[in-house]
């Protein structure tokens, strides 16, 4: 199995006003974006080309939106990338860049 292009753990994943998991996982691997619970169960997944990732307006820097299969998920990642060797999710900006890169889009 190929190494994932992007992995983030400890991510809060919500849908509308409902929190789906407080310590979930976001993974881009093999051309697919997967949203997983803290136990590894799949919340949703889609080919990266079909995913829209963006920053919500008027939200803190640690938030990102991901539109998959007609559903909009609010992801709370880190505000800043963690120091090397430190635990914590990467910055939301890095997630958005990873989705665009995996889908073959440039800025």
The pLDDT value given to residue 100: 92
Q: Which of 88, 96, 99, 98 is nearest to 10 (CA)?
A: 88
pLDDT at 87: 66
Q: Which domain holds residue 25?
A: 4-103
Per-residue pLDDT of the chain (107 residues; tens, 9 = 90+): 566 689 998 999 999 889 999 999 999 999 999 999 999 999 999 999 999 999 998 888 889 999 999 999 999 997 667 777 776 667 888 999 999 999 887 55
| pTM, entire model | 0.85
Q: What is the pLDDT of residue 58?
A: 86
Which pLDDT score, from 0 to 100, does residue 107 have? 53
Residue 16 belongs to domain with CATH number: 2.30.29.30
Q: In this predicted structure, what is the pLDDT of residue 91?
A: 83
Number of domains in the chain: 1
Nearest residue to 104 (alpha-carbon basis) of 45, 31, 46, 43 = 31
pLDDT at 105: 72
């Amino acid at each position: 199995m190929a190494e994932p292009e992007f992995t983030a753990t400890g991510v809060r994943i919500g849908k509308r006003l409902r929190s789906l998991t407080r310590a979930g996982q976001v993974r881009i691997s093999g051309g697919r974006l997967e949203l997983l619970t803290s136990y590894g169960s799949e919340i949703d997944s889609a080919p990266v080309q079909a995913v829209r990732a963006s920053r919500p307006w008027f939200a803190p820097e640690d938030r990102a939106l991901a539109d998959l299969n007609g559903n909009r998920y609010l992801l709370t990642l880190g505000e800043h990338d963690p120091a090397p060797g430190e635990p914590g999710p990467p910055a939301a900006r890095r997630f958005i860049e990873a989705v665009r890169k995996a889908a073959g889009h440039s800025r």
